[in-house]
Amino acid sequence: MARNKDVAPAGGGAKKKRFPRLRQIGQAYKVASRTDKRLGLYTFGSAGLVLAVFAAIGLLAGPAWFWVLMGLPLALLVATIIFTRRAEAAVYQQIEGQPGAAASALQTLRRGWFVEAAIAVNRQQDVVHRVIGKPGIILVGEGTSAGRVKNLLAQEHRRHARIAGEVPIHELVVGNDEGQVPLRKLGRRVQKLPKSISPAEMTEVRNRLRAMPSGANQLPIPKGPLPKNLKLPKGGVPPR
């Protein structure tokens, strides 16, 4: 009897553990299709087009079934690329303008980047996030007023400069105006900053920053505007 208790129940419990990748893709499609109504058309249509081309080659060169099988991996690859790009664009469109959207975009950075969300927030919920990487310290501001965001960034820049030493401090403002970084391009922009410090220097500056007092006006803001169970891909949105 005791052994029976250790046996996993049959039915739904076992099924839920199967194919986690397919469930994730299904969730991503469901969320992204709310914004991009043609997501399915472009995804499946591109795969069908590739298979049609290979089928046509097969009719001419024969055998057709062989060429269709040869075209399946390429059709899957093309559909995956198109789905990924359009789904990412749709998700960014959904979260753009929400408090904390930049923090969600920064969380897609690969290993070697250390992101701290909302190190400074004012009463209007303009926010500064901090990223530490090989370029040094990157302060990322977002909010509804470019002037307020720049003032908050300048305040944080001065605060960090007191203990940063020779470590470079970069400032980025998220937005669609001139001189700002669009949300969908934020991850790539951060990664393109010139590398200036070594991993050992990164560790040192992180230790120094841990001892730094919190930024001014630490107010709670909504965290994680991304839809539930949906993760953006590592490295940000691929270039179009």
Look at the alpha carbons of 153, 158, 159, 165 in this order and tell me if their dihedral is positive or negative. positive
How confident is the model at residue 110, as a pLDDT? 83
Rounded to whole angstroms, the Cα distance separating 215 from 176 reads 26
How confident is the model at residue 88, as a pLDDT? 77
pLDDT, tens digit, for every residue of 70-86? 999 999 999 999 988 88
Joined tokens for residue 73: 């991996």
**CA nearest to 169, candidates 222, 122, 133:** 133
Look at the alpha carbons of 49, 54, 56, 59 in this order and tell me if their dihedral is positive or negative. negative
- Outline where 96-145 has alpha helix (H): 101-106
pLDDT, tens digit, for every residue of 184-235? 888 889 999 999 999 899 999 888 888 776 655 554 444 444 444 444 444 4
